[in-house]
Amino acid sequence: SQLYLNPAPGGIDAHYAWTVPGGRGSGVRVIDVEGAWQFAHEDLTQNQGGTIGTPTADIGWRNHGTAVIGEIGGDRNTYGITGISPDAHVRGVSIFGTLGSAGAIRKAADLLSPGDIILIELHRPGPNATGVGQVGYIAIEWWPDDYAAIRYAVEKGIIVVEAAGNGGEN
């Protein structure tokens, strides 16, 4: 059911990537900045560094974080899912507790090297938010402290990927 592993237009052609050197993510570190994960999940036992910070106890955050980190770095085995880059080292930095979003992004950047990746799974209600679902939610970079933390990471040579578009904003 992991159709996103297939060639375009329905997927990213991970199956082909896996045939070339480094195509499974070996040597790459990915840090997911969000709220919670279940790194004890049966498909996240290899190549993971667990959680930094204080994850929320909210099951919605935990399930979402676990699903996304599984899509990226789920173990290569005979059951469950296989991540897009199953040999990459994955971990999470939580925005909860004392770090906040900008602090979590900066913490992640300090743990990584050029060419590594930060995935920011966050967005917030922007100036056009309606209060109805996610309408008007915007990318986290709109807030100056988060933008500065992202710039800090990028200036270190870290690839930053962030969620955007769920709120239908330009």
Q: Could you read off the pLDDT tens digit of each residue along the chain, which spans 170 residues?
A: 899 999 999 999 999 999 999 999 999 999 999 999 999 999 999 988 999 999 999 999 999 999 999 999 999 988 889 999 999 999 999 999 999 999 999 999 999 999 999 999 999 999 999 999 999 999 999 999 999 999 999 999 999 999 877 888 88
3-state secondary structure at position 18: coil
The reported pLDDT for the residue numbered 166 is: 82
Strands (E), the chain: 29-34, 48-52, 89-94, 117-120, 123-125, 137-139, 159-162
Q: Which among 107, 164, 166 has a CA at the least distance from the CA of 141?
A: 164
- Cβ-Cβ contacts under 8 Å for 29 (sequence gap 6 or more): 88, 89, 90, 91, 111, 112, 113, 116, 117
User: What is the CA angle 169-14-92, rounded to 5?
Assistant: 60
The reported pLDDT for the residue numbered 169 is 87
